[in-house]
Amino acid sequence: MAKPSFNSLAFFLLLLSLLSPLSQSRRPPQFLRKPSRNQNPQINNNVVNQQQYKSYSYETRYFDQILDHFSFDDRLPNFRQRYLINSDHWVGPSRLGPIFLYCGNEGDIEWFAANTGFVWELAPRFGAMVVFPEHRYYGESMPYGSQKEAYKNASTLAHLTAEQALADYAVLITDLKRNLSAEACPVILFGGSYGGMLAAWMRVKYPHIAIGALASSAPILQFEDIVPPQTFYDIVSNDFRRESTSCFDTIKKSWDIITSVGQKTNGLDHLAKTFHLCGKLESSQDLSDWLDSAYSYLAMVDYPYPSEFLMPLPAYPIKEVCKEIDNLPDGTSVLDRIFKGVSVYYNYTGIADCFQLDDDPHGMSGWNWQACTEMVMPLSSDRNSSMFPEWDYNSTSFAEDCWDEFRVIPRPTWITTEFGGHNYKSVLETFGSNIIFSNGLLDPWSGGSVLKNISESVVALVTEKGAHHLDLRASTMNDPDWLVEQRASEVKIIEGWIVNYNEKLVFNM
């Protein structure tokens, strides 16, 4: 899941109260959100994305989906849910060919399909069909005919929930299997980040639909007080401290300097010039949010090889950021060091002449609604352990902001009521089965995930140097041994699920 304020509708989850320069109004990064940059006019980013999307072959289809699965109100319109499907390697229903379903996240499904190479690579090995359904209210799967109408108000957004999305997937896959006479074919769920949460929850809520789930980087425990709220930013901070304590210290110093400069006459203009912003800077907080987003994303995608998932980045980009910050000549100002470092994230290719502070290239702004209703994830920053300014989660202020923005009141305990979370070890051990929780400890969202085995079939695969759902990405020649081993473990477990399912099916026939 980025991180601006609600006024800019930029990046991610929550708004926090404005109490003092050290406790600022902030929203944590959404799971997957690509911040904007002003492209070179000669570079057509849409063409680049289209070329990337075509790297895997699939047919695009649409399914007539019910808007509210949990009522019988025939006055509500249906909507067309987009899904991507490939059956090139599927061995068919007579051989119980498995179906691999990726639980679509909070964005355009083609983007997720293009960045989930692991599923595509497994299909030939297992003779599997691949299905990527799009999450309602994202991409082309818009109720009411358009995003403008769907996002109009709380009434039209009311059915943008995780529960409705899971029901979409259940109905879609059931209908698809029926039409293919493939009712007996096993379904394996995959998902990363919010999609990983959906995969885990769907396995628990719909065990008759899917026989297992790989939930990568899925922070299902990041609700209420299940994990300490400072965990996310502590992990981000530790990732930078691990590379360079001086880099960590420079970033920690920068926030007060940015605030101080912004309060001076023409200070905002000076900040805008220093950081090569395209337009006028409205507040120093907007700049701080932009930087915060970059650091958080860098921790999420601190991959061991070059990547272009969120931005074009080098291998281990945090290391490169800290090199830029630390290696400037003595006497270089803190702000100049910060700009040089953050340019690794926002402008590694060097094509950006200036920077905008907010944008929504993957159509992810619907997450603002989800964060204000049921996906309430309290985050905070600790003065001693974090390189970020100190601030505390303030539920009252957050609720007021959500009311101002959407005329809706958050329900911070609803997710744990619906899907669980408290006492999760006992619950999953007793009622759960066939779930893999995979995490890399460089990923700040790992702190809200399951990091220890629950039972023989609910297992945690944890890598010390892994980042945000790295295991779901396509394999490369540069994959470290620990990543190869992690994927091999996942394949073995999934294979066991399928073999066990087939054996029980034959036995019961």
Q: Would you name the residues annotated as active-site residues?
A: 193, 443, 468
Sheet of 59-65, strand order: 59-65, 79-86, 129-133, 99-102, 187-192, 212-216, 435-440, 458-463
By the 8 A CB rule, do 134 and 140 touch? yes
Query: Count H helices, E strands: the chain?
Result: 18, 8
Q: Is 456 exposed, middle or buried (0-12, 13-18, 19+ CB in 10 A)?
A: exposed
Name the residue among 60, 52, 61 with its Cα closest to residue 114: 52
Backbone φ, ψ for residue 212 (5° rounding): -170, 165
Other CB atoms within 10 A of residue 177 CB: 18
SS3 of 105-119: the string is: CCCCHHHHHHCCHHH
Q: Distance (Å, rounded) from C-alpha 179 to C-alpha 197?
A: 28
The helix (run of H) or strand (run of E) holding residue 133 is strand 129-133
By the 8 A CB rule, do 82 and 134 touch? yes
Q: Distance (Å, rounded) from C-alpha 332 to C-alpha 326?
A: 10
The helix (run of H) or strand (run of E) holding residue 83 is strand 79-86
Name the residue among 334, 336, 340 with its Cα closest to residue 320: 340
Backbone φ, ψ for residue 23 (5° rounding): -135, 85
**SS3 state of residue 88:** coil
By the 8 A CB rule, do 96 and 122 touch? no
Crossing angle of helices 284-300/245-262, nearest 10°?
Answer: 160
Name the residue among 199, 205, 206 with its Cα closest to residue 220: 199
**Do strands 99-102 and 59-65 pair parallel, antiparallel, or not at all (unpaired)?**
unpaired
**SS3 state of residue 459:** strand
Amino acid letter, 92: G
Amino acid letter, 98: P
